A and B are shown apart, each in its own frame.
Chain A
Amino acid sequence: MKQGSRAARPAVVCIAALALFLLGAGLQYSLSLWLGGSTTLSRDALGAISFGAEGIWFLLAGFALSFLGKGYRPLPHLVASLLFGVVTFFVLRALKPPSFSYDRFFASTGELVVWALGAAAASWLLAMWGASCGMLIGANGRPDARLRYEWGIARTHLRLNRRSARVLLVAGVVPPLLLWWGGEMAKAWDQVRRANAGDVPPALHVSVRQIALVAAAVVIALALVLRFLKARADLARLHPGQRRKRPATVVMTGISIAGVSVGVWALTVVLSVMSGFESDLKRKILGTNSHALLLKYSTDFSEWRTVMPKVAAVEGVAGVSPFILNEVILSHGQTVTGAELKGIDPASAGSVSDLPRQVIAGDLQWILEPQLIPSTDRLVQPSGEASKQLGGPEYEQYLEDTLRRRQSHPEEEQKVDPEALRHLSGICIGKEMSHQLRAWVGDVVNVLTPLGEMTPTGPVPRSRPFRVACILYSGMYEYDSKFVYIGIPEAQRFFKMGDNIVGLELKFTDVDAARALGRRVVAALGGFPYRTKDWAELNRNLFSALKLEKLAMAIILTFIVLVACFNILSTLIMLVLEKTKEISILKSMGARDASVMKIFVVEGLTIGAIGTAMGLLLGYASCSFIEKFGLQLDPDVYYISNLPVNVDGGQFLTVAAISLALSYLATLYPATKASRLSPVDGLREE
């Protein structure tokens, strides 16, 4: 036997750690600079990627240093981390990062101190975390990552055998299956109801696959119950002394698994619903608005016809359309309402928004060809794409209010000469506005702009009649009650703008890169006086509120998982106490400290992994149930009829990673404790 290489001195470990930490910080900084320059990633994504890379670097540094120092060496690491914090402080002071606070531009010294302390704490904790992985594979001697008898022993500690695996499988699979099936049934029932309402003979669509799955679930559940009863009966027949006692740790293991799965379940369901809200809102906002606006620092934008092809040629731009925007007042009969009048080009509007698909009745093209708008004696039926999404008592009421009213008061329209009407320009209005004004396709509405003529008696607002060409439904109350659309030439005449427009609407191939692509468009046009505003900027308050809410929910719910991991911690401590003798025997047979540590880490991770898997399955099934069952929301409050759910694979993976990482952390204390037990600790007891 040769003597093993000795551990490095504390000063060496400390210097090496400091060097690695500084290298990691440099890596973060240069990575964010490089990615910021060469890709179109958002600032959040840049931060996430570069700081994520730095965190992994710190983990790896701790891992490598555990081999150098042949152990955790917390003190040299702590010194290195504090020095790292000091260096970070001075570097940050030199770099002058922007402040998080709104009342100053550069970060204050207090903020920098917090940053530096955060860097020091993060580097120490992550390095210790990495070192624990090093210790796990035997950093204090010859590394050995094998996991063979350790797994066998861990399995006996958890009582993980064929029977318990079957129980876990059934407990993990049957409830999600039932939930999923419940969702399918709800959907089928809804179809039947709709079919009945429409006087169409009902057809219940239940596929063979569904029946087979449910039958399988029921059979498995029944078999399990029978087996359980049989085992009970067998047990009762045994002599009391022969009964194998179930140790408390087995019950605690079950409770820990349940705890983790409940936490993961809650986290996935809530995050899916929150991102459902977010994506629903995003879909609706981007249905009416484009991804970005190209504006000019000037009122003169008469060169737009030459700019448009240049913008369309930029890589990443999927659509361009000109627009004019101004505030007006709309009136119909006795009703008056404020509105945003948007001049659009119907031909290209579809390339930047979903406007043509939001039509309930009429046609978007009619704003340019008003002679095609049917006269009021012919009732235009709802036939557009958006009308198919609508239904329910609310919508029926709206149609009744708007259409019946006109049938009962036809004389209002007949005062005007029908021939003169044919020459009025067309206007498209939102569903809510049409409800408010009681105006339907073919009706005449008056548009009033405060930008009027100067007369000897003072400024007089200009007003003009338009005929309603189509009714639009976007799903956003604000848009449906505020926006009205006319053709670009008509708007230019109405506002006396000459051949100017306000700006261009842009659509990109990648929504999330809108900001960077906007910069690219401006650069292609030669910069100033052009500028872009992306959708996130235009709706910043809404989305930042949503994001903050989601983050807060994620943090609160992560605490559930954290609590569940404390369950794992206490279960493992109980197990270590229960198995002290066994640990001693294993060590007397030559088991290494790292092997003993592995046994308990693997146990905790197994509990965490089973709980996480069950929670994810249950979460997925719950999401699909919510989606299919369609939990009703109050439409006046949310303007969404059902609770939206967005099942995002990445989100599920993140939840799983958080849960497993926390489980791992929970194992470290008991596992390290167990590995440091002296072999005689368990032998002396008797």
Chain B
Amino acid sequence: MSLDPLVEARGVHKSYWLGEKEIHVLRGASFALGAGEMASLVGPSGVGKSTFLHVIGTLDPPTEGEVLFEGRDAFRMSEEELSSFRNRSIGFVFQFHYLLPEFSALQNAAMPGLISRLPREQAEAQAREMLQIVGLGERLDHKPGELSGGEQQRVALARALVLKPRLLLADEPTGNLDEATGEGIHQLLVELNQRLGIAAIVVTHNPRLAERMPRRLRLTDGLVVDA
């Protein structure tokens, strides 16, 4: 493990303008996550958990402060470098699966590989492998519309992990699922963290699931604190 943490946020501020009014969502949030570490992030609705995740995941630049990956400022990179960084090093899972409806599970999971310009065969081989791991080896050619909610979220997970990123950001991945299915997805996340050594931040509303994580973070008043 290097001396620098995998990802570090330093005094991150983020505010939106809602008409004339400025809404401060993050007010100098700081935190660090080591490689392979797994944390849950809890907090009431509307407190800015998704915004925090987007800033950490380099999707949304902070109003103030910086986000460092292994000591390097992510938002100083060019558009192209940032894209390639997101492609290789970060995986996202959202509350909704956001799969491309016209493509099969295999094609969806292979998309990050195709974006990084891997040959089609290689991208699909990696996607097949990852779909095996999440337990969907039998449903490669099904389109998202032909899969159940839990299966769709598993495909989304396979898509996020297909290029073996360093960091997985999951924004309420079980929010739309029934308890048993959600439990299964969570179980899978923990397993993958241990098996692949991917660091992860999982936003959740379910205190029972949050409890099970090695590290628990809480977002209050625009700050991130260890619970």
Which A positions have Cβ atoms within 8 angstroms of B? Answer: 1, 3-4, 138, 140-142, 144, 146, 148-149, 152-153, 156, 581-582, 585-593, 595, 678-680, 683-684, 686
Cα of A587 to Cα of B82 in the assembled complex, Å? 10
Cα of A588 to Cα of B159 in the assembled complex, Å? 12
| Residue B80 CB within 8 A of the other chain | yes
| Residue B27 CB within 8 A of the other chain | no
Interface centre among A4, A587, A589 (most CB of B within 10 A): A589
Residue on B nearest A4 in the bound complex, by CB: B78
On whether the beta carbons of B87 and A590 are closer than 8 Å, the reply is: yes
Chain A residues, CB < 8 A from B57: 588
Contact A589-B111, Cβ < 8 Å, known A683-B59, A683-B94: yes
Chain A residues, CB < 8 A from B79: 140-141, 592-593
On whether the beta carbons of A144 and B115 are closer than 8 Å, the reply is: no
Task: Pick out which of these stretches binds chain A: B35-43, B95-103, B134-142.
Answer: B95-103
| Apart from the given pairs A3-B78, A4-B81, A141-B80, 8 other A-B contacts in the complex at a CB distance below 8 Å | A1-B77, A141-B78, A141-B81, A587-B59, A593-B83, A678-B59, A678-B60, A686-B96
On whether the beta carbons of A156 and B100 are closer than 8 Å, the reply is: yes
On whether the beta carbons of A585 and B98 are closer than 8 Å, the reply is: yes
Contact A590-B83, Cβ < 8 Å, known A581-B98, A678-B60: yes
On whether the beta carbons of A588 and B116 are closer than 8 Å, the reply is: no
- Number of B residues contacting the other chain (C-beta, 8 Å)? 35
Q: Is the interface of B mostly helix, strand, loop or mixed?
A: helix
Cα of A588 to Cα of B78 in the assembled complex, Å? 15
Q: Which of A153, A680, A684 is within 8 Å of B100, CB to CB?
A: A153
Interface centre among A4, A146, A581, A588 (most CB of B within 10 A): A588
13 contacts between A and B (CB under 8 A): A1-B72, A138-B80, A140-B79, A140-B80, A141-B79, A148-B120, A152-B114, A153-B100, A589-B86, A592-B79, A592-B83, A679-B60, A686-B95
Interface members, chain B 161-204 (any A CB < 8 Å): none
On whether the beta carbons of A590 and B102 are closer than 8 Å, the reply is: no
Cα of A453 to Cα of B120 in the assembled complex, Å? 97
Which B positions have Cβ atoms within 8 angstroms of A? Answer: 50, 54, 57, 59-60, 72, 76-81, 83-88, 92, 94-96, 98, 100, 102-103, 107, 111-112, 114-117, 120, 159
Chain A residues, CB < 8 A from B60: 678-680
Cα of A557 to Cα of B59 in the assembled complex, Å? 46
Q: Which of A1, A581, A590, A678 is within 8 Å of B115, CB to CB?
A: A590
On whether the beta carbons of A588 and B115 are closer than 8 Å, the reply is: no
On whether the beta carbons of B54 and A589 are closer than 8 Å, the reply is: no
| Closest chain B CB from A683 CB (angstroms) | 7
On whether the beta carbons of A590 and B59 are closer than 8 Å, the reply is: no
Cα of A271 to Cα of B226 in the assembled complex, Å? 76
On whether the beta carbons of A156 and B102 are closer than 8 Å, the reply is: yes
Cα of A684 to Cα of B48 in the assembled complex, Å? 11
On whether the beta carbons of B83 and A144 are closer than 8 Å, the reply is: no
Cα of A144 to Cα of B94 in the assembled complex, Å? 29
Contact A156-B115, Cβ < 8 Å, known A4-B81, A683-B59: no
